[in-house]
Amino acid sequence: MRPTRRAVIGVGLSGVAVAALPAVASPALVSQRPAIGARSFVSPAVEREIARVSAKIGDPKLRWMFANCYPNTLDTTVRMSTVDGAPDAFVITGDIPCLWLRDSSAQLTPYLHLVRNDPALATLFRGLIARQARSILIDPYANAFLQDPGAKTNLDWALHDRTDMKPGVAERKWEVDSLCYPMRLAHGFWQATRDPTPFDATWAAAARLSIATFRAQQRKNGPGPYRFLRASDRNSETVPLEGWGNPSRPVGLIHSAFRPSDDACVYPFLIPSNLFAVTALRELATVANGARHDAALAADATALADEVERALIAHGRMRLRDGRTVWAYEVDGFGNALFMDDANVPSLSGLAYLGCAAPGDPLWRRTRDAAWSEANPYFFKGKAGEGIGGPHVGLRQIWPMSLIVRALSSDDPATIRACLKTLRDSDAATGFIHESFDQDDPTRFTRAWFAWANGLFGELIVRLATSRPALLGQPL
């Protein structure tokens, strides 16, 4: 049976396809992991890390959730094989059996610090880096891919898209961050291991194509080859003006047709994604120099990063009604700007987490504070907590991802503790992190199996075990 968009994504508060469980006051803290023999991948290093960190968690339910969530990607989403004798790793999102470049990169990131101590885990990383490179070479404008590179999409909502769908592509939404995340993963692996094995000629070709795609979508010489139309009752599912996007002035920023939420942009220069591109291109240059001694590739990546950074300084900021200068969410180069934030990373509030802003940078801190306020139309506050959502699943829906990123980026113990408490209390007694939950009723949630969010929660707890052991050791 093919998944349907409404079945796996949800439709806000109408009740159609929003997963719900009865409230349970005191859930039995029984492991929700698959039996060992049913797990899709087993890492001894990760199992040791679960035991090490769990011993430092003072709150029983938080400890239970960490043990369920941290290994969720390995337990349930990995499909290992080989291609031409080399490892191949296909990592699905969870309830959608396809590989998103963004999600798959983020899903493995929480294990990077363990990769040197586990050869099998290193093989998994090499396999995903290789799979992502081959996928980008299929189509650098696609956001999601199928395991079989010769197959046609099995996503019901993408079957009739008017775009250049190629075999192996599951969905073809052009999102700048889809090319940034593989650069970030490659850099993380290189920094952790100094292993040059994955960075072969195929990887280099994908890196060059990624840079060329970014340059094409600066749209200095016309709109480029990408066009996308979808018949939908949601205008966020298609691209305006016959699929080319709203007008922009070529100022050096990179067009994105869609946001990391997979919703269409209003103004085509998505500032968090452009900031991410600057960081990711510099990380790519580091890998090109260090792993391949490819000075030309490194110089090309650095030159583009420098150009986009200059354009961001000139065009990426705006003034709010109260006079504060902040990063805009989207601009068009003509002087128009939109302020909001969406929970999906890259977000304005997640820039410090991604390394796109220093945690103490005044501009970013003003921007984050505005995103976590009524200045952001997608900031929600209710009986179950407060947080950032987005248009993807509708109003009133808080995304736990926003709380996790807030805690990862905060230097305030009270803020971190409040985020942990809301995360603990919004799982609807499932032991897992969901895509979103209703601001007043966490038993009304979307996506019961969302591996990115589970892993990100695990990453937060692992970091706190080192950076805030006293806080983590206390009951909430």
Give tens-digit pLDDT for 169-178. Answer: 999 999 999 9
pTM, two decimals, is 0.95
Look at the chain and count its residues.
476
- Tell me how far apart the alpha carbons of residues 415 and 408 are, in angstroms, rounded to a whole number: 10
- 117 phi/psi in degrees, rounded to 5: -105, 10
Beta bridge partners of 169: 145
Does residue 451 lie in a domain region? yes
Q: For residue 28, what pLDDT band results from cuts at 50, 70 and 90?
A: confident
**Does 322 reside within a domain?**
no
**Which residue is listed with tokens 């269409």?**
264
Residue 201 clears pLDDT 70, i.e. is over it: yes
Q: Which residues contact 424 (CB under 8 A, 6 or more apart)?
A: 59, 61, 62, 65, 476
The mean per-residue pLDDT over the stretch 72-97 comes to 98
CB-CB contact of 155 with 2 (8 Å): yes
Which pLDDT score is estimated for 462? 99
Residue with token string 């692996």: 189
Backbone angles phi, psi at 56, to 5 degrees: -100, 0
The burial class, CB within 10 Å (0-12 / 13-18 / 19+), for 6 is middle
Mean pLDDT, range 44-61, rounded to an integer: 99
Domain count, the chain: 1
Chain centre distance of CA 268: 19
Check pLDDT > 60 for residue 149. yes
Return the pLDDT at 20. 37
Residue 19 has phi, psi (to 5 degrees) of: -60, 140
Strand partners, 87: 82
Whole-Å CA distances, 359 to 1, 273, 282, 352, 456:
45, 18, 19, 5, 18
* Position 467 confidence tier, pLDDT thresholds 50, 70, 90: very high
3-state secondary structure of 153: coil
Within-domain flag for 402 = yes
Token code pair at residue 166: 């190629």
Span 151-165, mean pLDDT?
98
Residues in Cβ contact with 366 at an 8 Å cutoff, skipping those fewer than 6 apart: 324, 325, 326
Instruction: State pLDDT tens for residues 388-437.
Output: 999 999 999 999 999 999 999 999 999 999 999 999 999 999 999 999 99
Instruction: Assess if residue 469 is contained within a domain.
Output: yes
**Residue 68 to residue 86: CA distance in whole angstroms:** 31
For residue 384, is it within any domain?
A: yes
Q: What is the dihedral sign for C-alpha 116, 183, 138, 261?
A: positive
Q: Residue 429: which residues within 8 A CB-CB, separation 6 or more?
A: 21, 23, 24, 27
C-alpha to C-alpha distance for 189 and 173, rounded to whole angstroms:
27
Q: Is residue 470 part of a domain?
A: yes
Tokens at 115, concatenated? 């990769």
β partners of residue 264: 258
d(CA 472, CA 416) in angstroms, rounded, equals: 10
Mean pLDDT of 237-249: 98
Give the confidence band of 235 by pLDDT, cuts at 50, 70, 90: very high
Residue 321 pLDDT > 70 = yes
Beta bridge partners of 145: 99, 169
pLDDT for res 280: 99
What is the residue-averaged pLDDT of the chain? 95
CA separation, residue 334 to residues 253, 275, 340, 359, 361 (Å): 12, 19, 19, 30, 27
Backbone Cα Rg of the chain = 21
What is the domain extent for residue 438?
378-476
Q: Is residue 406 part of a domain?
A: yes
At residue 25, the pLDDT reads 43
Nearest 5°: phi and psi at 87? -65, 145
Helix (H, G, I), strand (E, B) or coil at 109: helix
Per-residue pLDDT, 142: 99
Model confidence at 72: pLDDT above 70: yes
Concatenating the DSSP letter of every residue in 29-75 gives ----SPPGGG-S---HHHHHHHHHHHTT--SHHHHHHHHHHTTHHHH
Q: What is the mean pLDDT of residues 191-202?
A: 99
In-domain check, residue 175: no
What's the confidence (pLDDT) of residue 27? 56
